[in-house]
Amino acid sequence: MYWADIIANNIIKSGKHKPYWVDDMKTPSGRVHVGSLRAVIIHDLIYKSLLDKGKKATFSYVIDDHDPMDSLPSYLDRKKFLPHMGEPLNTIPSPKSGYASFAEFFAEEFIGVFNALGVKPKIIWTSKLYKSGRMDEVIRKVLDKAEVVRKIYKELYGKGKPPDWYPFQVVCPNCGKVGTTKVYDWDGKLVSFKCLPDLVKWAKGCGREGKISPFGGTGKIPWKVEWACKWKVIGVTVEGAGKDHMSDGGSHDVAARVCERVLNYPVPYPFSHEFFLIEGKKMASSKGRGVAAKEVFDMMPAYLLRFLMARTKYSRAIDFDPTGWIIPDLFDEYDRSAIVFWKDGSNKDLGRIFEMSQPTGKLPRSMYLARFRDITQILQMPNVDAVSYFEEKKGEKLNAQEKEELSERVKYAKIWLSGYAPKEAVFKISDKLPKEADKLNNKQRKYLGELSKLVGGAKDASDFEKEMYLLANNLNLPTKDAFTAVYVTLLGKPHGPKAAWLIMGEKERVVKRFKEVS
């Protein structure tokens, strides 16, 4: 059974997580990386599986825009943004005009990406939860039970919080920073706070002291405690997280205990998902490391990126190297899943993965799919028309749906060739005879000489390909050696694209080169 369906079944069978409210969240501290995209798609797949099982479900996505800026991405202007360190992300100006804040600018880019992938959760902004007063009740609870929260930290980390620590930080009324304040008392109505110059290394407080009501958005709960508070306020019953948060003593352990002992709220159904790595490295938005979700989204069709996430079990890491063969390989796997679906529906896992990979939810009808690898080759062949080539391979005209799909794949093949393809995938007929041709043996040279006599009369690439095989056989030359001779002579490499189509693209130039070698 498909992994998302297994999780959905487990949620339903438990009977503990109703109503079904799936949630995920992200702090927009910079360009959101593709690892966070994996997380939102995993939650979306589980949500859609619940719907497919006839269950009423809700899916929300929380933008944690009330968090402080605690790290400055390397691609931002330090002079402009360094003074804002420690301020809530929703109060920092946007790097680009047209957005209300720093948080909105980066969040909207990410929302646009996952919306295009068919993920359309209810968007919840943390700042609005606070400012609307919806967080007031849980703020009061965690302040009233601050000693319980301190004990939770001591149990998990061995070192407890001091007696004057309270799980709340004020937005300083003087300097506007939230990351530099410490609340040291609570009288039931007001919190006493200090804005400390040396509380953290990444921001400097102004020294202000005072009292303020903690309600209505004047501050925030520390994240590990806040996670549980948002579950209760929103009504979340299903939420997983990366394995770093779900490990023993991690953020989830704190949140779960706060749920049970402070908020009297059932812990949502948990699961731990693996990371999305780029060349073996974990990414971080706030540090400017990794590949942004938008960049990966621009590399491939939406259905293929969704397929990458859907086909990989949530508990397995994805190691993505855009400069390798992963994109052509993904197209091949997607095409195999399409064939399985068109034959057997979603009864088999591969067919179910194809079904869950469609961004619009609309399933494409059975059709001929031009292989991506072939497209990347013919795009590099002079005078070869993609539609004509694949109509010849199919054996009949492409229909409108097939032409549309081919056009999209041509678009992404050009992107791959221009920026991500490995050297061995990129080729062109060299301007002069490659030095590698010196190593050809006499049989190979004779083959090229005889082949040059056939080129002029060739009308059809498929028929000419058959003549190439027949000629090699007549000369007792192994097929591999024959085609190697062609590629070495034209490209300087022992391999290449469809040789007959390559030759047919520039007949006169090819004949001259073959004669030169023979």
- Give the HSE-up count for residue 274: Cα atoms under 13 Å, Cβ half-sphere: 13
Q: Report how far residue 331's alpha carbon sits from residue 341's, in angstroms, rounded to the nearest whole number.
A: 15
- What is the spatial distance between Cα 393 and Cα 306, in angstroms, rounded to a whole number? 28
pLDDT value, residue 410: 98
The residue type found at 246 is M
Instruction: Tell me the C-alpha distance between 319 and 273, whole Å.
Output: 14
DSSP state of 268: P
Question: What is the CATH number that goes with domain 435-517?
Answer: 1.10.10.350
- Residue 286's pLDDT is 43
Per-residue pLDDT of the chain (518 residues; tens, 9 = 90+): 999 999 999 999 999 999 999 999 999 999 998 989 999 999 999 999 999 999 999 999 999 999 999 999 989 999 999 999 999 999 999 999 999 999 999 999 999 999 999 999 999 999 999 999 999 999 999 999 999 999 999 999 988 899 999 999 999 999 999 999 999 999 999 999 999 999 999 999 999 999 999 999 999 999 999 999 999 999 999 999 999 999 998 999 999 999 999 999 999 999 999 988 887 655 444 444 457 899 999 999 999 999 999 999 999 999 988 888 999 999 999 999 999 999 999 999 999 999 999 999 999 999 999 999 999 999 998 888 999 999 989 999 999 999 999 999 999 999 999 989 998 899 888 889 999 999 999 999 999 999 999 998 888 888 999 999 999 999 999 999 999 999 999 999 998 888 998 998 889 899 999 999 98
Name the one residue in this structure whose structure tokens are 């394995």.
Answer: 243
**Which residue, among 369, 377, 372, 362, has the nearest Cα to 337 in the 3D structure?**
369
Helix, strand, coil in percent for the chain, rounding step 5: 50, 10, 40
Identity of the amino acid at 28: P
Please give the helix or strand (H or E) that residue 57 lies within, else none.
strand 57-63
- Comparing CA positions, the residue from 282, 285, 290, 202 lying closest to residue 30 is 285
CA distance 89 to 220: 12
How much is the pLDDT for 382?
81
DSSP category for residue 159: S
Q: Is-contact 207 180, C-beta < 8 A?
A: no
Beta strands in 91-205 (DSSP E): 122-125, 169-170, 181-186, 191-195
The span from the first CA to the last CA of the chain, in angstroms, equals 59
Whether 61 and 121 have beta carbons less than 8 Å apart is answered as yes
What dihedral angle (degrees, nearest 10) is formed by the CA atoms of 27, 30, 31, 32? -20
In the chain, what are the domain boundaries?
3-127+223-276, 136-220, 435-517
Tell me the backbone φ, ψ of residue 212, rounded to 5 degrees.
-160, 150
pLDDT on residue 457: 86
Which residue type occupies 445?
Answer: R
Per-residue model confidence (pLDDT) at position 278:
80
Instruction: Indicate the pTM of the whole model.
Output: 0.91
- 266-269 LR contacts (CB < 8 Å, sep 24+): 266/16, 266/17, 266/237, 267/231, 268/17, 268/23, 268/231, 268/236, 268/237, 268/238, 268/239, 269/10, 269/11, 269/14, 269/16, 269/17, 269/237, 269/238, 269/239
Q: What's the confidence (pLDDT) of residue 518?
A: 86
Q: Please, what CATH class does the domain formed by 3-127+223-276 belong to?
A: alpha beta
Establish whether the linkage from the previous residue to 68 is cis, with ω within 30° of 0: no
d(CA 322, CA 291): 10
Calpha distance 373→380 (Å, rounded):
12
Enumerate the β-bridge partners of residue 369: none
